Structure 1
Amino acid sequence: ARASAIPVLSGLPLDAIARYAGQPAVLDAQCGVLAINPNDAVSGYYQVAQTLADKRQKQQAQAAAQLAYSRDNKRIDIAANIGTALEAPGAFANGAEGVGL
């Protein structure tokens, strides 16, 4: 899931959360948090966090599009270490120029 940028939270029995079906929720898989019916403070926090994450992702995408050089101006090839072909598009979208073994 991580390689495909899919947020996942494990360890919650389905019957423990089924009664909340249809309720607003925030999933923070990075911190292992599922906030069901978040209050305004929690919602506001995650809105700001999402805005900052979007900004960081945009900056990283711009940097990934640049060629890599060492401090002494030698060209560095960037290769991804992937486990399956399904990971290749994400690797190339994040600046990989090839795939290593």
Structure 2
Amino acid sequence: GAPKGVEVTHRAVLANLEQIRKASALGADDVVVSWMPYFHDMGLIGTHLAPLAAGAKQVKIGPLSFAKRPRVWFEVADRHRATVLSAANFALALAVRRVPDEV
């Protein structure tokens, strides 16, 4: 069927942020490098709002840049001395297939 939107309430977002805070040690000294789009829950909550709430530095890569050349994610992470990377299984599988063994 056709895609359907899901309403996410302010209360739900705050509850999710609190869960992430409790489960992680994310803090102001962290550097989060992400390519995940904001229309994805992990992109919005996990790699944008949670780091924002923690005072962490964020470095963003366009999703298409990652899809075309996954190695860019690791290059940017290295350049910015990332402490946090996050991705779905499909992205890790893509990186394993497309990034040379010497990396």
More helix by share: 2
The structure number with the bigger radius of gyration is: 1
Q: Which structure exhibits the higher relative contact order, with contacts defined as CA atoms closer than 8 Å and separated by 6 or more residues?
A: 2
Tell me the TM-score normalised to structure 2 length. 0.23
TM-score by length of 1: 0.24
Normalized per residue, the structure richer in strand is: 1
